[in-house]
Amino acid sequence: MQANKLSDWLPTTKREVKIRGWEELDVILFSGDAYVDHPSFGPAVIGRILESYGLKVAIVPQPSVHDDLQDFTKLGIPKLFFGITGGCMDPMVSNYTASKKRRDKDAYTPNGDKGFRPDYATSVYSNILKEKFPDVPVLIGGIEASLRRVTHYDYWSDKLLPTILETSKADMLVYGMGEQPLREVVKLLQKGVPFSSLRTIQQTAFLVDKNERIPKNKNWEDVEIHSHDVCLKNKKKFASNFKVIEQESNKLKARRIFQGVNDKTLVINPPYPTMTEKEIDASFDLPYTRLPHPKYNKRGPIPAFEMIKTSINIHRGCFGGCSFCTISAHQGKFIASRSKESILREVDKVANMPDFKGYLSDIGGPSANMYQMKGKVQSICDKCVAPSCISPVICSNLDTSHKPLTELYQAVDSHPKVKKSFIGSGIRHDMLVPEFNKNADPKELDDYTEEVMTKHVSGRLKVAPEHTSDPVLKLMRKPSFEYFHKFKERFDRINLKKKLKLQLIPYFISNHPACEVEDMANLAAETKDMGFQLEQVQGFTPTPMTVATVIYYSGYHPYTLKPTKTPKSRKEKEEQHRFFFWYKKENKGWIRKTLGKLGRKDLVEALVPEEETNTWKSIKPKKVNNTFDNAIPAHHARSKKKHKSRKKRR
């Protein structure tokens, strides 16, 4: 492969702009992440998309906000607009743990160094640019902007904040995946339409003065939600807003949303339809170098890049609609799948990179096994307002065939330079259980499961049952834990049949809304029965734009408006989390005392009997690298007991 030149990356300095022979720029992007020119990094995608429209684009990664702010002025003034993204994660998630402690590392910075991304980066960058260049339009996008587009609860400040358009002073917000709205923005600007007149572009949001006329669109219906001021005064009304926001975000024919914000009106235009195969292929087929910018060569590796540099993203979107997850809020409920040809072209590009050793780290997406899945009858999907296609049951209109995915894996593995392709993304195990996925061909599900277990797993298969309590799982929009038992039976059967020694790695969450101490004790007992000794686990972290976060702040479920309890105090959270580690000596006395007060001697006997055998003490749990900062328990062989007796007493 020919060595890359500096000009193969988007320019990041004035010198690099001059290398390209440019005198001025059309768009200057600012990003909270280091610049990695790879299709898994949003800032690179946006830069390449704008470049494909014929624009002269530069990117300023991780501009310093601690000096004379020269990073914001060094490239001058763009002809069209400044673009801003906080990065591939919300900066507050990047900077802080669930307990609000500063993280030691930033995965999107060379060497994992911290301190290169300010809190609330999008607003910080935008305010600096608006102060220095008040007449230049600022367009914000990415995860942080997308999920903070309306009144939202901010866990780190413990406050209800208005739309990020208000705090950032930006002129426009693009929410969700940005290719489609950016195409329209650029087309109109190139025709000479003033930025201030861009008011009817789908998947954008902006603020207008209350006395300003809002352009009408005969194809759109409008809906008004409770104002920011009302939300500050009434938690129940704040909660009721979310049902409208979530449903309109996932509709194929959505309404335009209005919300009062101080003396202005927030306007959120409906989203674009799901990207077509041709559109998503075009985005992934752009001329990425797939490498960090050479400026980082002496600073050390970028952890997030090292994690995904040999991975292939095959689709976007997720129809799971989990209450604690933001994927559908940003990428959409409907799946946008790449063509097999586009995927294989990327596989070939990776396989021919100089340092490729023959192993692809992941062939996946937000969920590994949703590729090419969509509604059988499109007109039914057109009218659907359900936030999930698989909760509480799998929609009868959903085509859940795993055959295209199995065939794709086999095509990838046929590449002469690929020794093995792994599935690193989490798999929806519930869709592989015929008792839950009743419309699927059981043989097809077994074929897929066997393909993954025999050819695409490095000793461990990750799945996410999340909890064992049916009431908690119902609120999470996850299926009953009984389907995890059924999946484990199939997993064990294939393990035995193929003489494998694979471990099943389930993820669990503590402190989720509706979860109580007794639920966590049941979880501990049931997973112990199944042979799991949990080592790393995840505490629920409230992030904007999820059902669970709305419940956490308001105390009401946004769909029913019924009061819903959530563990909020540090003591409650620590106690729930502690049950994951029932096997630790320092927790045994506390567990006996806590469950004794609840009258649950059966759980005491199940978790910490007086005469505990040395079985668990003799096993040292294996620690596993954690890709998603989630909980990764270690699985150990042990006889399974009946779990029905562990159900919570009412």
3-state secondary structure 416-459: CCCCEECCCCCECHHHHCCCCCCCCCHHHHHHHHHHHHHHCCCC
Amino acid, res. 45? V
pTM for the predicted model, two decimal places? 0.91
CA atoms of 170 and 378, how far apart (whole Å)? 37
Q: How far is it, in rounded angstroms, from Cα 232 to Cα 261?
A: 11
Q: What is the DSSP letter of 618?
A: T
Instruction: Return the pLDDT at 611.
Output: 61
pLDDT at 536: 64
pLDDT in tens, 420-467: 999 988 899 999 999 999 989 999 999 999 999 999 998 889 899 999
Instruction: With a cut of 50, list the residues of the chain below it in pLDDT.
Output: 613-650
For the beta carbon of residue 232, count every other beta carbon within 10 angstroms.
Answer: 15
pLDDT value of residue 393: 95
Residue among 170, 176, 165 at smallest CA distance from 195: 170
Distance, CA of 49 to CA of 41 (rounded, Å): 12
Rounded CA separation 626/7 (Å): 35
Inter-axis angle of helices 179-190 and 42-52, to 10 degrees? 40
DSSP codes, 271-308 = PPPPPPHHHHHHHHTS----EE-GGGTTT---HHHHHH
Torsion angles phi and psi, residue 222, rounded to 5: -115, 150
What is the predicted pLDDT for the residue at 407? 96
pLDDT at 633: 30
Quote the CA–CA distance of 395 and 230 in Å, as a whole number.
36
Q: State residue 458's pLDDT score.
A: 86
Confidence (pLDDT) at 617: 46
pLDDT of 634 reads 29
Token representation of residue 371 = 């590729």
DSSP state of 375: E
So what's the pLDDT on residue 625? 37
